[in-house]
Amino acid sequence: MAAIHPAEVLEETGAFNAPIWSPCEHYAGDRRKLEKAVGLPGANRGLFDLTLDLEDGAEVGSELANARDLIEGLNSNLASVSSFAGRVGFRVHPPDHQCFVEDLRLIANQSKRQIDYLVIPKVCGAESASEAIRATQRTYSLARKPIPAIQFFIETHEALSDVAAIARFPQVAFLTFGQMDLTSAHRGAIPASAMHSPGQFTNPLLRRAKLELSAACHAAGKIPTHNPTLDYNDIDQTAADAIQAREFGFLRMMSIHPSQIAPILDAFSPQYDELSEATEILLKAQHKNWGPIAYEGKLHDRASYRFYWDRLRLAKRMDRVLPQAAEIFFKLN
pLDDT tens-digit profile of 275-293? 889 989 999 999 899 999 9
Report the pLDDT value the prediction gives residue 156, as an integer from 0 to 100: 96
Tell me the average pLDDT across 305-310.
88
Report the pLDDT value the prediction gives residue 324, as an integer from 0 to 100: 67
More reliable by pLDDT, 109 or 313: 109
Tell me the average pLDDT across 164-173.
97
E strand residue ranges, the chain:
24-28, 49-53, 88-91, 117-120, 149-154, 172-177, 223-226, 252-255, 293-295, 298-300
Q: How confident is the model at residue 332 (pLDDT cuts 50, 70, 90)?
A: very low
| Residues 149, 29 within the same domain | yes
Residue 190 has pLDDT above 70, yes or no: yes
Q: Worst-scoring range by mean pLDDT, 128-142, 150-164, 288-302?
A: 288-302
Tell me the average pLDDT across 87-113.
94
- Number of structural domains (the chain) is 2
Report the pLDDT value the prediction gives residue 80, as an integer from 0 to 100: 63
| Residues 225, 310 within the same domain | no
| Residues 249, 182 within the same domain | yes
The domain in which residue 258 lies consists of: 24-268
Residue 2 has pLDDT above 80, yes or no: no
Which element (helix H / strand E) includes 63?
helix 63-76
Residue 142 lies in a domain: yes
Backbone CA torsion sign across 318, 319, 324, 330: positive
Tell me the average pLDDT across 251-255.
96
Which element (helix H / strand E) includes 225?
strand 223-226
Residue 253 has pLDDT above 50, yes or no: yes
Residue 72: other Cβ atoms inside 10 A? 14
Tell me the average pLDDT across 222-240.
94
- pTM across the whole model: 0.86
Q: Are 171 and 149 in contact (CB under 8 A)?
A: yes
Last residue of some domain: 268, 299, 315? 268
Q: Worst-scoring range by mean pLDDT, 74-83, 92-101, 178-187?
A: 74-83
Residue 83 lies in a domain: yes
Residue 7 lies in a domain: no
| Residues 264, 308 within the same domain | no
Tell me the average pLDDT across 101-112.
94
Residue 230 lies in a domain: yes
Report the pLDDT value the prediction gives residue 18, as an integer from 0 to 100: 56
User: Which parts of 2-45 fold into alpha helices (H)?
Assistant: 6-10, 14-17, 31-37
More reliable by pLDDT, 275 or 77: 275
More reliable by pLDDT, 79 or 59: 59
| Residues 81, 224 within the same domain | yes
Residue 200 lies in a domain: yes
Residue 222 lies in a domain: yes
Report the pLDDT value the prediction gives residue 119, as an integer from 0 to 100: 98
Q: How confident is the model at residue 326 (pLDDT cuts 50, 70, 90)?
A: low
Q: Are 123 and 97 in contact (CB under 8 A)?
A: no
Report the pLDDT value the prediction gives residue 8, as an integer from 0 to 100: 82
Residue 333 has pLDDT above 50, yes or no: no
| Residues 139, 198 within the same domain | yes
Compute and round to an integer the Cα radius of gyration of the chain: 21
Average pLDDT value for the chain: 89
